């Protein structure tokens, strides 16, 4: 397959959006001269979108003021804008009147930890030895083998028992194993499935509606992590199948085009909320207090859990990024991503020393992780950056458990590796190179990316001689690198 065989109609359609990406033609100085930034790290974070930044500056900016008032024009305007932004976010995911929206932190990691506190599942570390909880009172949480650390390790730090649903022979979530786990824990009071909608390593999606239906049939609840997929797919908390509704969802709007600088989003059914005291008591949560220690919090859950000055600009920006997604169109987004994915597979899949992870699954979102035989992932990322300007990401993509499945790491080998890592021998830490594309990626760009990856696969042993390894950071730098980023950042903060 060649880029000329790829449809140019969708590429041209997305050009109007590409033209507004801030930094789309940005260049930098590498050890090999001036290079243009080719951004293929969309799963980590989206990019700034000029019309959104200008709207925030020119339309909202002149009226910026604290919310919590509807008396002054500025306070009223911001309060109303904040409420409208929240309405847009809820509508986008088909939330209903029983669903609570909380924006917090900087992404899904912040809101899932907040949610776990709201659910009463976290005990301060220094009080754990003084706290005894009967096993029958501990919830069980089912997670898939494909979870991001935020949707696995965060649960490990709660009072819950965590069960990883094994993979089936095809490397997908095994529904038969899941049913067996449900039978095993059928007498548990609280059963939670917290499932990713899509792997941030392979772009493979999960049957989360099937999981939700099974949980509800077994008196459980289902939470879905949309962090990786939210910029690209439809989200529907209340599908036609009434048993398949989602009890809670989380996502990271900073991964949207136009989304960097936003907060994490949590939306959950109010039946899960049992608290009288907010997670963050303070301004904006209180109905009244008096000098004798008496006080009452607001009855409205969303207001009670929105302590202090809310992130109103973050919420507004989230709503604008969502509107941009809707303007691009999910059908267009997915079709264009599939075009690009098919091309990448046809180009890289035939290279003998390149292994694409889970390459048996081409029906995926725009995430491809791979490794090159004999090449450390961080050196591979550095070579792609320095020689070609291509922005990728190396490591385990914060998905260590999934990495064990993908790289076939058994328990004995895992313990050997983790002991080495704990001892500071980071060179043995497994990982891969992850590239993630966007529908605004052009045919010429993806062709250049694939040819560059092939060049690294062919020449990395020779090119490695120009780099030195830093064992404390597990990173590589060119022997003649001048660290231009340091000077660049210094310039950014030099004047205001």
DSSP 395-450: E-TT-HHHHHHHTT--HHHHHHHHHHHHTT-GGG---EEEEE--TT--HHHHHHHH
Please identify every stretch of the chain with a pLDDT value under 70, giving residue numbers as ranges.
Answer: 1-7
Q: What is the dihedral of CA 348, 353, 355, 360, to 10 degrees?
A: 70
The H or E element spanning position 99 is: strand 99-104
Calculate the alpha carbon distances from 183 to 53, 180, 214 in Å.
51, 5, 11
Residues sharing a CB contact under 8 Å with residue 406, sequence separation 6 or more, in sequence order: 171, 201, 202, 357, 358, 369, 432
Calculate the alpha carbon distances from 170 to 225, 361, 363, 406 in Å.
22, 9, 13, 11
The H or E element spanning position 16 is: helix 8-18
Of all residues in the chain, what percent are helix, strand and coil, respectively (each to 5)? 45, 20, 40
Report how far residue 114's alpha carbon sits from residue 88's, in angstroms, rounded to the nearest whole number.
22
CB distance 42 to 437 below 8 Å:
yes
Torsion region of 224: left, alpha or beta (phi above 0 gives left; psi -120 to 50 gives alpha): beta
CB distance 323 to 55 below 8 Å:
no
Q: What is the pLDDT of residues 152-192, one digit of tens each?
A: 999 999 999 999 999 999 999 999 999 999 999 999 989 99
Torsion region of 122: left, alpha or beta (phi above 0 gives left; psi -120 to 50 gives alpha): beta
pLDDT of residue 221: 99
CB distance 348 to 454 below 8 Å:
yes
pLDDT of residue 346: 97
Report the predicted TM-score, pTM, of the whole model to 2 decimal places.
Answer: 0.96
pLDDT of residue 92: 99
pLDDT of residue 483: 83
Residues sharing a CB contact under 8 Å with residue 175, sequence separation 6 or more, in sequence order: 168, 207, 210, 214
In terms of residues, how long is the chain?
Answer: 496
pLDDT of residue 5: 66
Reading the block at residue 404, the tokens are 């064990």
Q: Which domains does the chain have, with CATH numbers?
A: 3-49+329-396+431-492 (3.90.1150.10), 94-311 (3.40.640.10)
Report how far residue 127's alpha carbon sits from residue 154's, in angstroms, rounded to the nearest whole number.
18
CB distance 264 to 103 below 8 Å:
yes
């Amino acid at each position: 397959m060649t880029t000329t065989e790829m449809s140019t109609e969708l590429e041209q359609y997305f050009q109007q959006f590409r033209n507004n990406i801030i930094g789309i033609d940005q260049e930098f100085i590498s050890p090999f001269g001036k290079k243009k930034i080719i951004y293929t790290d969309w799963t980590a974070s989206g990019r700034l979108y000029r019309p959104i930044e200008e709207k925030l500056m020119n339309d909202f900016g002149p009226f910026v003021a604290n919310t919590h008032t509807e008396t002054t024009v500025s306070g009223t305007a911001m309060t109303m804008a904040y409420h409208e932004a929240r309405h847009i976010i809820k509508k986008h995911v088909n939330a209903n009147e029983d669903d609570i929206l909380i924006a917090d932190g900087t992404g899904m990691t912040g809101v899932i930890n907040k949610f776990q506190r709201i659910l009463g599942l976290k005990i301060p570390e220094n009080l754990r030895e003084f706290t005894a909880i009967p096993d029958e009172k501990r919830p069980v949480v089912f997670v898939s083998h494909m979870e991001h650390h935020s949707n696995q390790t965060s649960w490990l730090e709660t009072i819950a028992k965590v069960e990883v649903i094994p993979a089936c022979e095809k490397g997908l979530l095994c529904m038969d194993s899941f049913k067996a786990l449900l039978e095993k824990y059928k007498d548990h009071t609280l059963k939670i499935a917290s499932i990713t909608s899509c792997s941030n390593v392979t772009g493979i999606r999960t049957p989360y509606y099937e999981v939700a239906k099974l949980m509800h049939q077994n008196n459980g609840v289902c939470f879905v992590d949309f962090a990786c997929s939210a910029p690209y797919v439809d989200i529907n908390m209340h599908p036609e199948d009434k048993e398949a509704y989602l009890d809670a969802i989380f996502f990271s709007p900073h991964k949207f085009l136009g989304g960097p600088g936003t907060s994490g989003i949590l939306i959950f059914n109010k039946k899960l909320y049992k608290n009288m005291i907010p997670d963050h008591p303070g301004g904006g949560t209180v109905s009244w207090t008096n000098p004798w220690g008496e006080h009452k919090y607001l009855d409205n859950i969303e207001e009670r859990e929105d302590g202090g000055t809310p992130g109103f600009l973050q919420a507004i920006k989230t709503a604008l990024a969502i509107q941009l997604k809707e303007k691009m169109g999910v059908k267009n987004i997915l079709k264009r991503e599939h075009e690009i994915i098919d091309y990448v597979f046809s180009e890289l899949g035939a290279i003998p020393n390149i292994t694409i992870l889970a390459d048996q699954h081409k029906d995926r979102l725009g995430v491809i992780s791979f490794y090159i035989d004999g090449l450390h992932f961080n050196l591979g990322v550095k070579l792609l950056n320095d020689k070609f300007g291509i922005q990728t990401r190396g490591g385990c993509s914060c998905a260590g458990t999934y990495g064990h499945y993908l790289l076939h790491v058994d328990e004995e080998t895992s313990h050997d590796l983790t002991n080495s890592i704990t001892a500071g021998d980071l060179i043995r830490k497994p990982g891969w190179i992850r590239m993630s594309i966007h529908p605004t990626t052009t045919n010429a760009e993806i062709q250049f990316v694939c040819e560059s990856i092939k060049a690294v696969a062919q020449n990395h042993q020779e090119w490695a001689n120009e780099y030195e390894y830093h064992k404390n950071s597990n990173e590589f730098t060119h022997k003649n690198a001048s660290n231009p980023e340091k000077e660049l950042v210094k310039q950014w903060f030099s004047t205001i």
